[in-house]
Structure 1
Amino acid sequence: MNKSTQCEASEMLKRAGISPSYQRIMVLSALLETDEHPSADTIYKKLGTNIPAISRATVYNTLNLLVDRGVIHSMRTAGSETRFDSVCEAHSHFFCRKCKRIFDVAQQSGEIETELDGHLVESQDLVYKGLCRECRGEMIK
């Protein structure tokens, strides 16, 4: 893990009022260092090779805490697997039905609605589904 990423993770935790334990820093760092949208199990497997003492429960609990405090974002994929994203600014996602990867894409709509029919909107998730560039290319060949 990159030291500057660990420092960034520690600061993010402190700003959210979360005690920056070594394991929490490492979980958040693992997410910050990827542009993919990993599951908790993927993060656990990645960290487990370098931190044998980390438990699956610690990874899950840390990710849930980070979501609850607004540090990261979670989303459900087809098959109801939860994936995590460190980018909390407004953006959309593209889910490839073949390789199951998730890509960040530019927000396609204008302003995010803050109120709909008297309901207060706190977040909006837009997920496009189809074939990514690579999988589409494989089908054309």
Structure 2
Amino acid sequence: MSQKLSVFTSSFLLGSVPCFISVAKNGSKGLVDFVGSIDASDPTVLYLLALFLIQLVVSGLGHFKPGYKPGVNQRFRFYYAVVNSVGPGITCLTQVVSGAIFAAACVASWKYQEAGIWMVIGLWIMWPLFLAGAVNLDRVNRYAVEWQN
């Protein structure tokens, strides 16, 4: 199975299916409640963004494998392992949000009179962006695991 299909499938299972269940049980209110339960405060979002950026920097540095001093290499491998153990959690959160946006876009398209056409368009534009982010995070995490071994 390709990496993109794997990420889409897990995104669908983690975010879309629970959202569709919530909509089936409570209608449009269920969609609002489900997406609202994923919503995080601004400081939390900034913290997760900072973790993501730190992970990208450390993973980028890991690509060069600093081996010129044994002490530096050992410390770097420790930091690399710690930072990349956070990565799968961030990837999972991105997949859940991506799946929820996909479900919200489907429901909003179905009931576009309630949601408004611009909401529908916005959701269909946001979904591939979050899915691409989840695919890229998954790629970084796989690379990190390969490099550690």
Is TM more than 0.5 here? no
Larger helix share, 1 or 2: 2
Relative contact order: is structure 1 or structure 2 higher (C-alpha 8 Å, sep ≥ 6)? 2
Larger Rg: 2
TM-score range, shorter chain: under 0.3
Q: What's the TM-score, normalizing by structure 1? A: 0.24
